[in-house]
């Protein structure tokens, strides 16, 4: 079995857990508050900016020019997507760069971002790529799951997680190409390095679940502080 097959087998329970999460279910039924949606949006833009740094590292530590070109293409898409995202709905959510810089990074987002950024220091595509590819894989799989659901037809729910991006799908899509790279790099890696890569992928899958959870509960550093210092709101967090 290839490393990517091994990883995907172990990742299935995480996918099911993500599908069941009340935030994901809330997208299907259209039952999320504007506060929950806003929290997700703000934290996710900040998260995607962090991915720019991770993709840069992938370009930097590529082991072939073909790899570097693939990551560069993905980077181009990331920046284009972020530019367009920042332009949208300016009245309800002022997402310009200046206000975004002031958006506080909330606890789970910080844990996830640092989990990804920590792999950069390995200088190894085999270690960096799974931290990033897991989130992409999860969204693509959740997109397939959503396509099978009877979901509400109103925005913003209707387009949420409807991954229409063909760039990610199929044998030439990013997801398959990322797994091909993981398998190629695994050929020259030790068993321990392969295990580390797998655990990194699974941890990202787990943090995907916590990312939904943080948005569902709108968890902030202020919540954490209130719980720690004043004993407030315990069971939710």
Ligand X SMILES: Cc1ncc(C[n+]2csc(CCO)c2C)c(N)n1
30: contact with ligand X by CB under 6 A: no
Q: Of the candidates 208, 209, 214, 223, which one interacts with ligand X according to CB under 6 A?
A: 208
Say if CB 70 and CB 58 are below 8 A apart: no
139: contact with ligand X by CB under 6 A: yes
Q: What does the alpha-carbon distance between residue 11 and residue 203 come to, in Å, rounded to a whole number?
A: 10
26: contact with ligand X by CB under 6 A: no
Q: Residues in contact with ligand X, total (CB under 6 A)? A: 10
Q: From the CB of 6, what's the least distance to ligand X, in Å? A: 22
210: contact with ligand X by CB under 6 A: no
Handedness of CA 228, 230, 233, 235 (dihedral sign): positive
Say if CB 113 and CB 43 are below 8 A apart: no
Q: Of the candidates 135, 137, 177, 197, which one interacts with ligand X according to CB under 6 A?
A: 135
Q: What does the alpha-carbon distance between residue 224 and residue 230 come to, in Å, rounded to a whole number?
A: 10
Site residues for ligand X, 32-91, by CB under 6 A, read 44, 47-48, 81
Name which of 51 and 185 has its Cβ closer to ligand X.
51
Name which of 21 and 198 has its Cβ closer to ligand X.
21
Name which of 89 and 195 has its Cβ closer to ligand X.
89
- Quick one: which segment of 18-26, 55-63, 132-140, 181-189 binds ligand X (CB under 6 A)? 132-140
Nearest by Cα to 218 from 81, 20, 98, 42? 42
The CA R_g of the chain, rounded to the nearest whole Å, is 18
Extract the tokens encoding 105: 């990074």
Site residues for ligand X, 183-202, by CB under 6 A, read none
Name which of 194 and 207 has its Cβ closer to ligand X.
207
155: left (phi over 0), alpha (psi -120 to 50) or beta: beta
Q: What distance lies between CA 115 and its chain's CA centroid? A: 12
- Quick one: which segment of 18-26, 63-71, 135-143, 152-160 binds ligand X (CB under 6 A)? 135-143
136: contact with ligand X by CB under 6 A: yes
Q: From the CB of 208, what's the least distance to ligand X, in Å? A: 6
Say if CB 100 and CB 46 are below 8 A apart: yes
Structural element, H or E, at residue 181: helix 174-187
Say whether the peptide bond before residue 160 is cis (omega within 30 degrees of 0): no
Name which of 47 and 61 has its Cβ closer to ligand X.
47
Name which of 194 and 204 has its Cβ closer to ligand X.
204
Judged by the rule CB under 6 A, the positions of this chain that interact with ligand X are 44, 47-48, 81, 135-136, 139, 165, 208, 211
């Amino acid at each position: 079995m290839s490393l990517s097959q091994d990883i995907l087998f172990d990742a299935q329970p995480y996918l099911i857990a993500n599908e069941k999460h009340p935030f994901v279910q809330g997208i299907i039924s259209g039952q999320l508050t504007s506060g929950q949606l806003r929290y997700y949006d703000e934290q996710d833009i900040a998260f995607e900016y962090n991915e720019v740094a991770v993709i840069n590292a992938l370009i930097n530590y590529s082991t072939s020019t073909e790899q570097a070109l693939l990551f560069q293409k993905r980077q181009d898409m990331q920046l284009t997507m972020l530019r367009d995202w920042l332009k949208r709905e300016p009245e309800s959510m002022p997402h310009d760069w200046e206000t975004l810089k002031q958006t506080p990074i909330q606890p789970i987002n910080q844990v996830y971002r640092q989990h990804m950024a920590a792999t950069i220091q390995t200088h190894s595509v085999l270690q960096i790529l799974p931290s990033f590819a897991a989130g992409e894989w999860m969204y693509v799989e959740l997109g397939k799951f959503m396509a099978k659901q009877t979901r509400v037809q109103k925005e913003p729910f209707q387009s949420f997680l409807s991954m229409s991006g063909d760039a990610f799908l199929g044998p030439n899509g990013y997801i398959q190409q990322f797994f091909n790279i993981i398998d190629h790099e695994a050929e020259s890696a030790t068993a321990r390095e392969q295990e580390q890569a797998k655990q990194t992928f699974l941890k990202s899958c787990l943090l995907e679940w916590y990312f939904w959870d943080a948005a569902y509960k709108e968890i902030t550093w202020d919540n954490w502080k209130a719980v720690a210092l004043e004993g407030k709101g315990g069971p939710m967090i």
